[in-house]
Structure 1
Protein backbone atom coordinates (compact mmCIF):
# COMPACT_ATOMS: atom_id res chain seq x y z
CA UNK A 1 0.00 0.00 0.00
CA UNK A 2 2.79 2.45 0.91
CA UNK A 3 4.57 1.50 -2.30
CA UNK A 4 1.48 1.98 -4.47
CA UNK A 5 0.50 5.31 -2.97
CA UNK A 6 4.10 6.49 -2.73
CA UNK A 7 4.85 5.75 -6.37
CA UNK A 8 1.60 7.47 -7.29
CA UNK A 9 2.76 10.62 -5.53
CA UNK A 10 6.23 10.44 -7.08
CA UNK A 11 4.74 9.85 -10.52
CA UNK A 12 2.48 12.88 -10.18
CA UNK A 13 -0.87 11.15 -9.74
CA UNK A 14 -1.30 13.28 -6.61
CA UNK A 15 0.28 16.69 -7.13
CA UNK A 16 2.16 18.53 -4.37
CA UNK A 17 -0.18 20.70 -2.35
CA UNK A 18 -3.28 18.69 -3.15
CA UNK A 19 -5.34 16.87 -0.55
CA UNK A 20 -5.52 13.10 -0.79
CA UNK A 21 -8.96 11.51 -1.22
CA UNK A 22 -10.85 10.51 1.92
CA UNK A 23 -9.99 7.25 3.67
CA UNK A 24 -13.03 5.42 2.32
CA UNK A 25 -12.10 6.29 -1.27
CA UNK A 26 -8.47 5.28 -0.81
CA UNK A 27 -9.51 2.00 0.85
CA UNK A 28 -11.74 1.21 -2.11
CA UNK A 29 -9.19 2.30 -4.71
CA UNK A 30 -6.38 0.18 -3.28
CA UNK A 31 -8.50 -2.63 -1.84
CA UNK A 32 -7.12 -2.40 1.70
CA UNK A 33 -8.44 -2.13 5.23
CA UNK A 34 -8.42 1.06 7.30
CA UNK A 35 -5.59 -0.38 9.43
CA UNK A 36 -3.42 -1.04 6.37
CA UNK A 37 -4.21 2.38 4.92
CA UNK A 38 -3.34 4.24 8.10
CA UNK A 39 -0.07 2.35 8.45
CA UNK A 40 0.80 3.29 4.87
CA UNK A 41 -0.01 6.93 5.55
CA UNK A 42 2.24 6.88 8.63
CA UNK A 43 5.02 5.43 6.51
CA UNK A 44 4.64 8.09 3.84
CA UNK A 45 4.51 10.81 6.49
CA UNK A 46 7.80 9.60 7.94
CA UNK A 47 9.35 9.83 4.46
CA UNK A 48 8.23 13.42 4.01
CA UNK A 49 5.79 12.75 1.17
CA UNK A 50 2.60 13.74 2.98
CA UNK A 51 1.46 15.64 6.04
CA UNK A 52 -1.80 15.74 7.98
CA UNK A 53 -3.54 18.62 9.74
CA UNK A 54 -6.84 18.67 11.64
CA UNK A 55 -9.78 19.94 9.55
CA UNK A 56 -7.49 20.12 6.51
CA UNK A 57 -6.82 16.48 5.76
CA UNK A 58 -3.79 14.72 4.37
CA UNK A 59 -1.88 16.71 1.79
CA UNK A 60 0.99 15.90 -0.50
CA UNK A 61 3.96 17.95 0.65
CA UNK A 62 6.09 20.13 -1.62
CA UNK A 63 8.73 18.21 -3.59
CA UNK A 64 11.58 19.84 -1.71
CA UNK A 65 10.23 18.27 1.49
CA UNK A 66 10.36 14.72 0.13
CA UNK A 67 13.13 12.61 1.64
CA UNK A 68 14.72 11.46 -1.59
CA UNK A 69 17.62 10.01 0.40
CA UNK A 70 15.32 7.42 1.92
CA UNK A 71 16.12 4.02 0.39
CA UNK A 72 12.47 3.23 -0.37
CA UNK A 73 11.69 6.65 -1.83
CA UNK A 74 14.78 6.53 -4.02
CA UNK A 75 13.88 3.11 -5.37
CA UNK A 76 10.25 4.10 -5.91
CA UNK A 77 11.37 7.19 -7.77
CA UNK A 78 13.68 5.13 -9.97
CA UNK A 79 10.64 3.12 -11.07
CA UNK A 80 8.48 6.07 -12.12
CA UNK A 81 10.90 8.82 -13.16
CA UNK A 82 11.84 9.17 -16.84
CA UNK A 83 14.69 6.63 -17.16
CA UNK A 84 17.25 8.94 -18.72
CA UNK A 85 16.46 11.74 -16.29
CA UNK A 86 16.88 9.48 -13.28
CA UNK A 87 20.06 7.87 -14.62
CA UNK A 88 21.67 11.28 -15.16
CA UNK A 89 20.69 12.49 -11.69
CA UNK A 90 22.23 9.40 -10.12
CA UNK A 91 25.27 9.87 -12.33
CA UNK A 92 25.66 13.49 -11.19
CA UNK A 93 25.60 12.32 -7.59
CA UNK A 94 28.26 9.71 -8.31
CA UNK A 95 30.46 12.22 -10.12
CA UNK A 96 30.34 14.53 -7.11
CA UNK A 97 31.24 11.81 -4.61
CA UNK A 98 33.17 8.89 -6.07
CA UNK A 99 36.35 10.58 -7.44
CA UNK A 100 37.00 12.16 -4.04
CA UNK A 101 36.05 8.90 -2.33
CA UNK A 102 38.66 7.12 -4.42
CA UNK A 103 41.27 9.67 -3.32
CA UNK A 104 40.28 9.13 0.32
CA UNK A 105 40.45 5.38 -0.17
CA UNK A 106 44.00 5.74 -1.52
CA UNK A 107 44.97 7.74 1.54
CA UNK A 108 43.10 5.88 4.26
CA UNK A 109 42.66 2.24 3.26
CA UNK A 110 43.60 -0.38 5.80
CA UNK A 111 44.49 -4.01 5.30
CA UNK A 112 40.92 -5.25 5.84
CA UNK A 113 39.25 -2.72 3.54
CA UNK A 114 41.92 -3.17 0.88
CA UNK A 115 41.36 -6.93 1.03
CA UNK A 116 37.64 -6.37 0.37
CA UNK A 117 38.46 -4.16 -2.60
CA UNK A 118 40.99 -6.68 -3.90
CA UNK A 119 38.43 -9.50 -3.73
CA UNK A 120 35.91 -7.38 -5.64
CA UNK A 121 38.48 -6.50 -8.32
CA UNK A 122 39.50 -10.13 -8.73
CA UNK A 123 35.85 -11.13 -9.04
CA UNK A 124 35.40 -8.53 -11.80
CA UNK A 125 38.40 -9.91 -13.67
CA UNK A 126 37.10 -13.46 -13.31
CA UNK A 127 33.45 -12.71 -14.18
CA UNK A 128 32.04 -15.01 -16.85
CA UNK A 129 28.71 -13.28 -17.45
CA UNK A 130 26.77 -10.08 -16.84
CA UNK A 131 25.37 -11.17 -13.48
CA UNK A 132 28.78 -12.05 -12.05
CA UNK A 133 30.23 -8.82 -13.39
CA UNK A 134 27.47 -6.63 -11.94
CA UNK A 135 27.71 -8.24 -8.49
CA UNK A 136 31.47 -7.72 -8.45
CA UNK A 137 31.21 -4.21 -9.89
CA UNK A 138 28.77 -3.22 -7.15
CA UNK A 139 31.06 -4.67 -4.49
CA UNK A 140 33.96 -2.70 -5.96
CA UNK A 141 32.22 0.67 -5.80
CA UNK A 142 30.84 0.02 -2.32
CA UNK A 143 34.32 -1.14 -1.33
CA UNK A 144 35.81 2.18 -2.39
CA UNK A 145 33.41 4.00 -0.06
CA UNK A 146 34.25 1.63 2.78
CA UNK A 147 37.99 2.07 2.22
CA UNK A 148 37.63 5.83 2.76
CA UNK A 149 37.47 5.13 6.51
CA UNK A 150 34.79 7.82 6.74
CA UNK A 151 31.75 6.54 8.59
CA UNK A 152 29.58 9.24 7.00
CA UNK A 153 30.23 7.94 3.49
CA UNK A 154 29.60 4.25 4.12
CA UNK A 155 25.80 4.69 4.55
CA UNK A 156 25.72 6.40 1.16
CA UNK A 157 26.58 3.07 -0.42
CA UNK A 158 23.72 1.38 1.41
CA UNK A 159 21.40 4.15 0.30
CA UNK A 160 22.09 3.87 -3.42
CA UNK A 161 22.92 0.17 -3.56
CA UNK A 162 19.72 -1.00 -5.24
CA UNK A 163 19.54 1.82 -7.77
CA UNK A 164 23.29 1.67 -8.43
CA UNK A 165 23.07 -2.04 -9.15
CA UNK A 166 20.37 -1.37 -11.74
CA UNK A 167 22.51 1.30 -13.39
CA UNK A 168 25.60 -0.94 -13.44
CA UNK A 169 23.57 -3.71 -15.05
CA UNK A 170 22.24 -1.37 -17.74
CA UNK A 171 25.73 -0.03 -18.45
CA UNK A 172 27.16 -3.54 -18.75
CA UNK A 173 24.45 -4.49 -21.24
CA UNK A 174 25.04 -1.33 -23.29
CA UNK A 175 28.79 -1.94 -23.57
CA UNK A 176 30.32 -3.91 -26.42
CA UNK A 177 31.05 -6.65 -23.87
CA UNK A 178 29.90 -6.73 -20.26
CA UNK A 179 33.43 -6.27 -18.85
CA UNK A 180 34.48 -3.51 -21.24
CA UNK A 181 35.30 -1.20 -18.32
CA UNK A 182 37.68 -3.60 -16.58
CA UNK A 183 40.75 -1.55 -17.55
CA UNK A 184 39.24 1.63 -16.08
CA UNK A 185 38.38 -0.18 -12.84
CA UNK A 186 41.90 -1.61 -12.70
CA UNK A 187 43.35 1.90 -13.01
CA UNK A 188 41.28 2.98 -10.01
CA UNK A 189 42.32 -0.08 -8.03
CA UNK A 190 46.02 0.26 -8.83
CA UNK A 191 46.04 3.92 -7.79
CA UNK A 192 44.32 3.11 -4.51
CA UNK A 193 46.78 0.30 -3.76
CA UNK A 194 49.67 2.66 -4.52
CA UNK A 195 48.16 5.33 -2.25
CA UNK A 196 48.19 7.69 -5.22
CA UNK A 197 45.39 10.07 -4.23
CA UNK A 198 45.52 12.27 -7.34
CA UNK A 199 45.76 9.23 -9.59
CA UNK A 200 42.82 7.53 -7.91
CA UNK A 201 40.70 10.67 -8.29
CA UNK A 202 41.58 10.98 -11.99
CA UNK A 203 41.01 7.29 -12.66
CA UNK A 204 37.60 7.28 -11.02
CA UNK A 205 36.61 10.44 -12.89
CA UNK A 206 37.68 8.75 -16.11
CA UNK A 207 35.68 5.64 -15.29
CA UNK A 208 32.58 7.71 -14.57
CA UNK A 209 33.14 9.59 -17.81
CA UNK A 210 32.81 6.29 -19.66
CA UNK A 211 29.65 5.57 -17.69
CA UNK A 212 28.16 8.94 -18.63
CA UNK A 213 28.87 8.31 -22.32
CA UNK A 214 26.97 5.04 -22.17
CA UNK A 215 24.03 6.66 -20.39
CA UNK A 216 23.79 9.49 -22.90
CA UNK A 217 24.21 7.32 -25.98
Structure 2
Protein backbone atom coordinates (compact mmCIF):
# COMPACT_ATOMS: atom_id res chain seq x y z
CA UNK A 1 0.00 0.00 0.00
CA UNK A 2 1.30 3.47 -0.90
CA UNK A 3 0.43 5.15 2.41
CA UNK A 4 -0.78 8.44 0.95
CA UNK A 5 -2.33 9.02 4.35
CA UNK A 6 1.02 8.86 6.09
CA UNK A 7 2.41 11.41 3.64
CA UNK A 8 -0.69 13.54 4.06
CA UNK A 9 -0.24 13.57 7.84
CA UNK A 10 3.36 14.70 7.59
CA UNK A 11 5.23 11.58 6.52
CA UNK A 12 8.69 11.88 5.05
CA UNK A 13 9.02 12.28 1.30
CA UNK A 14 11.78 10.84 -0.82
CA UNK A 15 14.70 13.23 -1.12
CA UNK A 16 16.95 11.99 -3.92
CA UNK A 17 17.40 14.07 -7.05
CA UNK A 18 15.27 11.85 -9.25
CA UNK A 19 12.35 11.93 -6.81
CA UNK A 20 12.62 15.69 -6.36
CA UNK A 21 12.42 16.33 -10.10
CA UNK A 22 9.49 13.92 -10.49
CA UNK A 23 7.65 15.63 -7.62
CA UNK A 24 8.35 19.18 -8.77
CA UNK A 25 7.60 18.64 -12.44
CA UNK A 26 4.61 16.39 -11.77
CA UNK A 27 3.04 18.98 -9.49
CA UNK A 28 3.67 21.72 -12.05
CA UNK A 29 1.82 19.71 -14.69
CA UNK A 30 -1.14 18.80 -12.46
CA UNK A 31 -1.42 22.38 -11.19
CA UNK A 32 -1.59 23.66 -14.77
CA UNK A 33 1.73 25.46 -14.98
CA UNK A 34 2.41 23.26 -18.02
CA UNK A 35 -0.88 22.83 -19.85
CA UNK A 36 -1.88 19.71 -21.78
CA UNK A 37 -0.68 19.86 -25.36
CA UNK A 38 2.23 22.18 -24.62
CA UNK A 39 5.90 21.33 -24.94
CA UNK A 40 8.14 21.33 -21.90
CA UNK A 41 11.24 23.54 -21.93
CA UNK A 42 14.36 21.96 -23.40
CA UNK A 43 16.65 19.70 -21.43
CA UNK A 44 19.26 22.43 -20.90
CA UNK A 45 16.71 24.74 -19.30
CA UNK A 46 15.21 22.00 -17.12
CA UNK A 47 18.65 20.89 -15.96
CA UNK A 48 19.36 24.44 -14.78
CA UNK A 49 15.91 24.81 -13.23
CA UNK A 50 16.16 21.65 -11.13
CA UNK A 51 19.93 21.52 -10.73
CA UNK A 52 20.33 17.95 -11.97
CA UNK A 53 22.27 16.07 -14.61
CA UNK A 54 20.93 15.06 -18.01
CA UNK A 55 20.77 11.43 -16.83
CA UNK A 56 18.66 12.26 -13.76
CA UNK A 57 16.37 14.50 -15.81
CA UNK A 58 15.75 11.84 -18.44
CA UNK A 59 15.00 9.20 -15.81
CA UNK A 60 12.50 11.58 -14.22
CA UNK A 61 10.89 12.16 -17.61
CA UNK A 62 10.55 8.40 -18.07
CA UNK A 63 8.85 8.13 -14.69
CA UNK A 64 6.36 10.88 -15.54
CA UNK A 65 5.73 9.32 -18.95
CA UNK A 66 4.94 6.02 -17.22
CA UNK A 67 2.36 7.87 -15.13
CA UNK A 68 0.78 9.11 -18.36
CA UNK A 69 1.64 12.79 -17.93
CA UNK A 70 4.22 13.14 -20.71
CA UNK A 71 4.99 11.82 -24.15
CA UNK A 72 8.32 12.30 -25.93
CA UNK A 73 8.43 12.81 -29.70
CA UNK A 74 11.63 12.62 -31.73
CA UNK A 75 12.66 16.00 -33.20
CA UNK A 76 9.64 17.63 -31.53
CA UNK A 77 10.18 17.48 -27.78
CA UNK A 78 8.35 16.32 -24.70
CA UNK A 79 4.68 17.20 -24.59
CA UNK A 80 2.19 17.25 -21.72
CA UNK A 81 -0.56 14.75 -22.45
CA UNK A 82 -4.32 15.36 -22.10
CA UNK A 83 -5.64 14.79 -18.59
CA UNK A 84 -7.64 11.75 -19.76
CA UNK A 85 -4.31 9.98 -20.33
CA UNK A 86 -3.07 10.49 -16.77
CA UNK A 87 -3.00 7.47 -14.51
CA UNK A 88 -5.30 8.63 -11.73
CA UNK A 89 -4.78 5.32 -9.93
CA UNK A 90 -1.16 6.34 -9.41
CA UNK A 91 -0.44 7.44 -5.84
CA UNK A 92 1.74 10.40 -6.85
CA UNK A 93 -0.74 11.74 -9.39
CA UNK A 94 -3.54 11.55 -6.83
CA UNK A 95 -1.38 13.30 -4.24
CA UNK A 96 -0.54 16.11 -6.64
CA UNK A 97 -4.23 16.59 -7.38
CA UNK A 98 -5.09 16.82 -3.70
CA UNK A 99 -2.21 19.14 -2.86
CA UNK A 100 -3.18 21.49 -5.68
CA UNK A 101 -6.68 21.89 -4.26
CA UNK A 102 -9.30 19.60 -5.77
CA UNK A 103 -12.95 20.55 -5.99
CA UNK A 104 -16.15 18.81 -5.03
CA UNK A 105 -16.50 17.33 -8.52
CA UNK A 106 -13.24 15.41 -8.27
CA UNK A 107 -14.11 14.23 -4.77
CA UNK A 108 -17.50 13.00 -5.94
CA UNK A 109 -15.79 11.00 -8.67
CA UNK A 110 -13.49 9.43 -6.07
CA UNK A 111 -16.51 8.33 -4.03
CA UNK A 112 -18.27 7.07 -7.15
CA UNK A 113 -15.25 4.86 -7.81
CA UNK A 114 -15.37 3.56 -4.26
CA UNK A 115 -19.06 2.74 -4.57
CA UNK A 116 -18.39 0.84 -7.79
CA UNK A 117 -15.64 -1.27 -6.22
CA UNK A 118 -15.76 -1.66 -2.45
CA UNK A 119 -19.30 -3.05 -1.97
CA UNK A 120 -18.43 -5.82 -4.41
CA UNK A 121 -15.14 -6.39 -2.58
CA UNK A 122 -17.15 -6.80 0.63
CA UNK A 123 -19.48 -9.23 -1.15
CA UNK A 124 -16.49 -11.33 -2.22
CA UNK A 125 -14.97 -11.10 1.25
CA UNK A 126 -18.14 -12.62 2.69
CA UNK A 127 -17.30 -15.72 0.68
CA UNK A 128 -13.55 -15.86 1.25
CA UNK A 129 -12.74 -14.23 4.61
CA UNK A 130 -11.39 -16.67 7.18
CA UNK A 131 -11.20 -16.38 10.97
CA UNK A 132 -7.88 -14.53 10.82
CA UNK A 133 -9.31 -12.00 8.35
CA UNK A 134 -12.32 -11.39 10.58
CA UNK A 135 -10.15 -10.98 13.65
CA UNK A 136 -7.90 -8.51 11.85
CA UNK A 137 -10.90 -6.50 10.62
CA UNK A 138 -12.42 -6.39 14.09
CA UNK A 139 -9.07 -5.20 15.40
CA UNK A 140 -9.13 -2.31 12.94
CA UNK A 141 -12.66 -1.43 14.06
CA UNK A 142 -11.50 -1.28 17.68
CA UNK A 143 -8.49 0.81 16.65
CA UNK A 144 -10.87 3.27 14.98
CA UNK A 145 -13.06 3.35 18.06
CA UNK A 146 -10.13 4.02 20.40
CA UNK A 147 -8.05 6.26 18.10
CA UNK A 148 -6.66 9.21 20.10
CA UNK A 149 -6.26 11.57 17.15
CA UNK A 150 -7.01 12.18 13.47
CA UNK A 151 -3.92 10.37 12.19
CA UNK A 152 -4.51 7.21 14.20
CA UNK A 153 -8.16 7.09 13.14
CA UNK A 154 -7.31 7.65 9.47
CA UNK A 155 -4.68 4.89 9.39
CA UNK A 156 -7.00 2.44 11.16
CA UNK A 157 -9.74 3.27 8.67
CA UNK A 158 -7.36 2.70 5.76
CA UNK A 159 -6.14 -0.58 7.26
CA UNK A 160 -9.76 -1.76 7.51
CA UNK A 161 -10.58 -1.04 3.88
CA UNK A 162 -7.27 -2.49 2.70
CA UNK A 163 -8.01 -5.68 4.64
CA UNK A 164 -11.40 -5.92 2.91
CA UNK A 165 -9.68 -5.75 -0.48
CA UNK A 166 -7.26 -8.48 0.60
CA UNK A 167 -10.03 -10.66 2.02
CA UNK A 168 -11.95 -10.44 -1.26
CA UNK A 169 -9.54 -12.97 -2.73
CA UNK A 170 -9.29 -10.97 -5.97
CA UNK A 171 -5.74 -9.80 -6.65
CA UNK A 172 -6.96 -6.94 -8.86
CA UNK A 173 -8.85 -5.35 -5.97
CA UNK A 174 -5.65 -4.48 -4.18
CA UNK A 175 -4.50 -2.27 -7.06
CA UNK A 176 -7.27 0.27 -6.41
CA UNK A 177 -6.09 0.95 -2.88
CA UNK A 178 -4.65 4.36 -3.85
CA UNK A 179 -8.13 5.58 -4.83
CA UNK A 180 -9.44 4.65 -1.39
CA UNK A 181 -6.49 6.34 0.26
CA UNK A 182 -7.05 9.51 -1.77
CA UNK A 183 -10.73 9.64 -0.82
CA UNK A 184 -9.94 9.07 2.86
CA UNK A 185 -7.14 11.63 2.91
CA UNK A 186 -9.37 14.21 1.23
CA UNK A 187 -12.07 13.55 3.80
CA UNK A 188 -9.78 13.74 6.82
CA UNK A 189 -8.10 16.91 5.61
CA UNK A 190 -11.49 18.63 5.63
CA UNK A 191 -13.12 16.95 8.62
CA UNK A 192 -12.05 13.93 10.65
CA UNK A 193 -14.58 11.79 12.53
CA UNK A 194 -12.05 11.74 15.37
CA UNK A 195 -12.82 15.43 15.97
CA UNK A 196 -16.23 14.42 17.38
CA UNK A 197 -16.40 11.42 19.76
CA UNK A 198 -20.01 10.76 18.77
CA UNK A 199 -19.21 10.65 15.06
CA UNK A 200 -16.10 8.57 15.75
CA UNK A 201 -18.19 5.96 17.57
CA UNK A 202 -20.84 6.03 14.84
CA UNK A 203 -18.30 5.44 12.08
CA UNK A 204 -16.63 2.62 14.04
CA UNK A 205 -20.03 0.99 14.61
CA UNK A 206 -20.80 1.22 10.90
CA UNK A 207 -17.56 -0.58 10.08
CA UNK A 208 -18.40 -3.15 12.73
CA UNK A 209 -21.61 -3.94 10.87
CA UNK A 210 -19.54 -4.86 7.83
CA UNK A 211 -17.54 -7.33 9.91
CA UNK A 212 -20.74 -8.82 11.35
CA UNK A 213 -22.14 -9.34 7.87
CA UNK A 214 -18.92 -11.00 6.74
CA UNK A 215 -18.97 -13.30 9.75
CA UNK A 216 -22.57 -14.26 8.91
CA UNK A 217 -21.56 -14.95 5.27
CA UNK A 218 -24.28 -12.50 4.22
CA UNK A 219 -23.03 -11.04 0.94
CA UNK A 220 -25.96 -8.67 0.44
CA UNK A 221 -25.68 -7.28 3.97
CA UNK A 222 -21.91 -6.86 3.63
CA UNK A 223 -22.26 -4.94 0.36
CA UNK A 224 -25.04 -2.77 1.81
CA UNK A 225 -23.06 -2.02 4.96
CA UNK A 226 -20.01 -1.04 2.93
CA UNK A 227 -22.13 1.20 0.71
CA UNK A 228 -23.60 2.85 3.80
CA UNK A 229 -20.10 3.61 5.15
CA UNK A 230 -19.05 5.23 1.88
CA UNK A 231 -22.30 7.19 1.54
CA UNK A 232 -21.97 8.48 5.10
CA UNK A 233 -18.45 9.73 4.40
CA UNK A 234 -19.49 11.40 1.17
CA UNK A 235 -22.52 13.08 2.77
CA UNK A 236 -20.47 14.35 5.70
CA UNK A 237 -17.82 15.71 3.36
CA UNK A 238 -20.43 17.37 1.13
CA UNK A 239 -21.82 19.20 4.14
CA UNK A 240 -18.37 20.52 5.03
CA UNK A 241 -17.73 21.70 1.46
CA UNK A 242 -21.14 23.38 1.24
CA UNK A 243 -20.51 25.17 4.54
CA UNK A 244 -17.13 26.42 3.30
CA UNK A 245 -18.62 27.64 0.05
Query: Would you say same fold, with TM above 0.5?
Result: yes
Secondary structure, counterpart of 1:181 in structure 2: helix
Question: Contact 1:47 / 1:70 at 8 angstroms: preserved in 2?
Answer: yes
Is contact 2:128-2:169 (8 Å) kept?
yes
C-alpha displacement of 1:6: 0.9
Equivalent residues in 2 for 1:100-139 (5 A)?
Answer: 100-139=120-159
CA contact (8 A) 2:187 2:237 kept: no
Alpha-carbon distance between aligned partners in 1 of 2:126 and 2:183, rounded to the nearest angstrom? 22
Aligned to 2:176: 156
* Structure 2 Cα separation of the partners of residues 68 and 34 of structure 1: 28
Offset at residue 205 of structure 1 (A): 1.2
For normalisation by structure 1, the TM-score amounts to: 0.89
Question: Is the contact made by 1:88 and 1:215 (CA closer than 8 Å) also made in structure 2?
Answer: no
For structure 1, which segment, 113-122 or 172-181, has the greater mean C-alpha deviation from structure 2 after superposition? Answer: 172-181
| TM-score (norm. length: structure 2) | 0.79
Cα distance between partner residues in 1 of 2:115 and 2:184:
16
Deviations 1:86-127 (A, max 9, x none): 322221111111111111111221223222212212222332
Unaligned runs of 5+ in 2: 1-20, 240-245
Structure 1: runs of 5+ lacking an equivalent: none
| In 2: Cα distance, 1:7 partner to 1:130 partner | 26
Q: 1:45 to 1:130 in 2, by over 3 A?
A: closer
What is the match of residue 24 of structure 1?
44
How much does 1:162 deviate? 4.5
What pairs up with 1:190-201 in 2 under 5 angstroms?
190-201=212-223
Q: CA RMSD in A?
A: 2.1
Q: 1:68 & 1:128 partners in 2: Cα distance?
A: 32
Q: 2:188 aligns with which of 166, 169, 173?
A: 169
Q: 177-186 or 207-216, which moves further after superposition? A: 177-186
More deviation in 163-172 or 17-26? 163-172
2:66 corresponds, among 40, 46, 55, to: 46
Aligned length: 216
Deviations 1:112-164 (A, max 9, x none): 3222212212222332333332221111111111111111112322x346424
Q: Match for residue 206 of structure 2?
A: 184
